[in-house]
Amino acid sequence: MKRTDSTQATATPTHVHLETFGCQMNEYDSELVRSLMKQDGFVFTDEQERADVILMNTCAIRENAHNKVYKHLSELKKIKRQRPLVVGVLGCMAQNLKEELTEIQPLIDVLAGPDSYRQLPMLIRNALLSQEEGLDQKGLAVDLSEYETYHDVVPDRHDGVNAWIAVMRGCDNFCSFCVVPYTRGRERSRDAEGIILEAHKIAEQGFKQITLLGQNVNSYRFGDWDFARLILAVADVPGIERVRFTSPHPKDFPMPLLEAVVSHPHICKQIHLPLQSGSDRILGLMNRAYTIREYRALVDRIQALRSDIVLSTDIICGFAGERDEDFDETYRLVEEMRFHSAFIFKYSERKNTIAARKFPDDVSEAVKTERVTRLFDLQRNISYGRNREYLKAVLPILVEGDAKRSAAQGMGKSDGNITVIWDKQIVPSQPGDLLSLAIYDASSTTLYAEPPPVS
């Protein structure tokens, strides 16, 4: 087994392969991990076959995220039988399932939770050493911190157009279905000046968009700074064309933030506003701390200020105790709201959460599936209608690269974060370009664009 040691400049570097599962916060955390490990002399590879160390940055939010990780682990078991390999599990699953993972999965050498990445190079080096010596010592770092914000770690960013910045970590909301407060710990905000300085550096590196991340950005507080003040300062950074943020909580959406979105030309006219359920009874059980009336009033306020703001949401179907009439209320509210898009999930009971302790997961799998399918079909029609409203409009589009299906097509995003595709022979484009294109066709997920008519 090759070993990296910062004092041995000539040693063959240790190759690390890192796979990321789950949300944007995890993508961002993987950039932090790459940065911390590279500083320590580790080299990253996209090829699993070349790797001495395989790391998985995991997600625990729903059962299927878990299953993906377990499936991947069983594949690694085969590789580990054939050659020396250090396997590390990072992120939310490491945090939440520490007993289970170390017991059930003897193949795992290192477990590191979201607040322990500074220790990761040391843990990996120890695991490599222990393996060389024929020992089987596990490295475990899963303590949660009240302070860790990685403020001084410059993420190792891949994407050349969008850069993420986590402005806060953790969550104190304790929605009854959600595991995040347990896996990511208490809320803490990163210093505003550090964030703004980083935004300037990002702009100098040529990034055009910044997405500010937090489990509930409305809770951002650092001295005199709140989130509205912060996003305005980031949006003022020269060279940054677009600023997005995710996610705000509907219970405490601040007016100054709405005013910032409405008025600043570089803050995207797009808000992700997780609804979760259209039934007050279920919202109560979910501990969401708002009623449908309040949610509706917030959406009305947003739309009265600017009717072109693109709204998206998250909805859970089949939460514990959800009756047909609760689901009907959700269905009707989705019809009424006409969100541009929605992520629709089946409720997945998570160990240790309030719901898992208090409310039996009593909606059958078949009913959950039926409700998700019905809502999904409804939303697809709504998204289709919403996207057709853009026909003939000329929109500014930030180019991200090639379309997934064909390198002959370019792909970018509208200000409202809708995917746009065009023929590159007709519209040559480079990532980072800001184009002005006319929409000539639309599906429920995609807008199709061409050069605008010459007037």
Among positions 119, 149, 276, 387, the unique one binding ligand 5AD when judged by CB under 6 A: 276
> Which entry of ligand SF4, ligand 5AD, none binds 314, CB below 5 to 8 A by partner kind?
ligand 5AD
> Token pair of 311, please?
């709204």
Peptide bond into 247 cis (omega under 30): yes
Q: Please provide residue 199's backbone torsions phi and psi, each rounded to the nearest 5 degrees.
A: -60, -40
350 binds ligand 5AD, rule: CB under 6 A: yes
Torsion of CA 226, 231, 237, 240, to 10 degrees: 160
Task: Transcribe 18-41 into DSSP letters.
Answer: EEE-SSHHHHHHHHHHHHHHHHTT
> Which entry of ligand 5AD, ligand SF4, none binds 61, CB below 5 to 8 A by partner kind?
ligand 5AD
Host H or E run for residue 329? helix 324-337
- Give the x/- contact pattern for ligand 5AD in 121-160, rule: CB under 6 A: ----------------------------------------
- Tokens 């377990």: give the residue: 70
> Which entry of ligand 5AD, ligand SF4, none binds 215, CB below 5 to 8 A by partner kind?
ligand SF4
Candidate ranges 120-128, 131-139, 345-353, 400-408; the one touching ligand 5AD (CB under 6 A): 345-353
> Which entry of ligand SF4, ligand 5AD, none binds 62, CB below 5 to 8 A by partner kind?
ligand 5AD
334 binds ligand 5AD, rule: CB under 6 A: no
Of the candidates 207, 189, 186, 187, which has an alpha carbon nearest to the alpha carbon of residue 198?
Answer: 207
CB 61, CB 95: distance < 8 Å = no
Burial class (CB in 10 A: 0-12, 13-18, 19+), 350: buried
- Give the integer Cα–Cα distance in Å for 32 and 36: 6
274 binds ligand 5AD, rule: CB under 6 A: yes
In whole angstroms, the minimum distance from the beta carbon of 163 to ligand 5AD comes to 21
- Estimate to the nearest angstrom the gap between the alpha carbon of 150 and the chain centroid: 17
In whole angstroms, the minimum distance from the beta carbon of 178 to ligand SF4 comes to 3
> Which entry of ligand 5AD, ligand SF4, none binds 347, CB below 5 to 8 A by partner kind?
ligand 5AD
- Give the integer Cα–Cα distance in Å for 408 and 417: 22
Among positions 28, 222, 345, 448, the unique one binding ligand 5AD when judged by CB under 6 A: 345
177 binds ligand 5AD, rule: CB under 6 A: yes
First to last CA, the chain: 67
Q: Please provide residue 243's backbone torsions phi and psi, each rounded to the nearest 5 degrees.
A: -125, 130
Binding-site residue total for ligand 5AD (CB under 6 A)?
12
**Binding-site ranges for ligand SF4 (CB under 6 A):** 171, 173-175, 178, 180-181, 215-216, 249
User: What is the amino acid identity at position 223?
Assistant: G
> Token pair of 422, please?
């065009």
In whole angstroms, the minimum distance from the beta carbon of 296 to ligand 5AD comes to 18
> Which entry of ligand SF4, ligand 5AD, none binds 171, CB below 5 to 8 A by partner kind?
ligand SF4
Candidate ranges 342-350, 371-379, 422-430, 434-442; the one touching ligand 5AD (CB under 6 A): 342-350
In whole angstroms, the minimum distance from the beta carbon of 316 to ligand SF4 comes to 9
> Token pair of 88, please?
């590390």
Candidate ranges 110-118, 250-258, 340-348, 363-371; the one touching ligand 5AD (CB under 6 A): 340-348
Which residues have C-beta within 8 Å of that of residue 232, sequence separation ≥ 6? Answer: 260, 264, 267
Candidate ranges 82-90, 206-214, 344-352, 377-385; the one touching ligand 5AD (CB under 6 A): 344-352
249 binds ligand 5AD, rule: CB under 6 A: no
Q: Of 86 and 180, which has the nearer Cβ to ligand SF4? A: 180
